[in-house]
Amino acid sequence: MSAMSNERRDELLVGLALDALDTPEEVAEARRLLHQDPTAAAEVTRFREAAAELARLSAVPPPAGGLDDALRRIDALEEGADASPGSAQPGSSSAPPEAGTARAEDPTAVPEGVLAFRPRRRLAPWIAAAAAIAIAVPSIGLAVAQHQRAAVAEAGTARIMELLSQPGAKLSSATLASGQGSLIVVSGGNGTDIITRELPDAGTDRTYQLWTIQAGGDPVSAGLVGGGDAVNSAGSQSAGTVVAITLEPAGGSQQPTQKPIAAVTLG
């Protein structure tokens, strides 16, 4: 028997979690996968939790109005989040819950209130992206900037959704040392995006500067950002790379002159 593709595996697990498999044969195939793969049950549980959060969106259609529509959906999810990432120092990161921490209930049971959604073979891409956000971090709304900030380009949201919908996409976040503002990093096979959210005003003589620091390497500037919200592309980054933000003199610096005020390590 040939090895199951990642795409097929995800299709079965998500379909099982949402009670959206089309045939008894698919249900049987998904159940066999649960028995054969020790990590599958935990993934189904996380998909179920994501589905419960997505149910809060009721019958809202897929994002068609650009950034503002997508951000309103994420903000709605944030209201129901029961945890938020704490402050992080360089070298720390947020990660999905380990398999051992998944709830010990039947992973094939769908929670009450889940959308009555039966796709034809595949989930819509926007639902897959939103599920990736829900699974990646406890606080859903940290994935993107607040919708009031029109300065974040619509293309930035399309880029984030593209990254999150890829197999293996990861999201890490950290709160600034001051407790106000967040650093969020979305990484996938096609690149890495750095999202800054609700940064305090840096003033006229200072600016926030983003850095990527590969293992054993020197800090490389990933761009300057002002207060509020922004999305910066950092290109392809390997696992173990530290993404950090510092407060620098206006115009930026060749190398960091201050300690990072937030940092995450890519998994």
Q: Tell me if 201 sits within 8 A of 227, measured CB to CB.
A: yes
Evaluate whether 133 touches 47 at the Cβ level (below 8 Å). no
Task: With H, G, I as helix, E, B as strand and everything else as coil, classify residue 224.
Answer: strand
Q: For residue 105, what are the domain limits?
A: 6-265
Q: Name the helix (H) or strand (E) containing 25.
A: helix 24-36
Mean pLDDT is lowest, of 46-55, 87-96, 168-177, for 87-96
For residue 148, the model assigns a pLDDT of 37
Indicate whether 1 belongs to any domain: no
Q: Report the predicted TM-score, pTM, of the whole model to 2 decimal places.
A: 0.46
- In the predicted structure, residue 130 carries a pLDDT above the cut 80: no
| Whether 102 contacts 137, CB under 8 Å | no
Number of domains in the chain: 1
The tens digit of pLDDT for each residue in 180-236 reads 888 888 887 678 888 888 899 999 999 999 999 988 888 999 999 988 888 888 888
Q: Report the distance separating Cα 75 and Cα 69, nearest Å.
A: 10
Q: What is the C-alpha to C-alpha distance for residues 185 and 142, in angstroms, rounded to an integer?
A: 10
Q: Which residues, including other chains, have CB under 8 Å from residue 155's CB and lie 6 or more apart?
A: none
Greater confidence, 97 or 50? 50
The rounded distance, in Å, linking the Cα atoms of 153 and 151 is 6
Helix H or strand E encompassing 176 = none
230-242: pLDDT as tens digits: 888 888 888 889 9
Tens digit of each residue's pLDDT (9 = 90 or more) over 132-161: 444 443 333 333 333 334 334 444 555 565
Q: Are 198 and 229 in contact (CB under 8 A)?
A: yes
Whether residue 143 is contained in a domain is answered as yes
- Most confident of the following: 77-81, 98-102, 171-175, 244-248: 244-248
pLDDT value, residue 209: 96
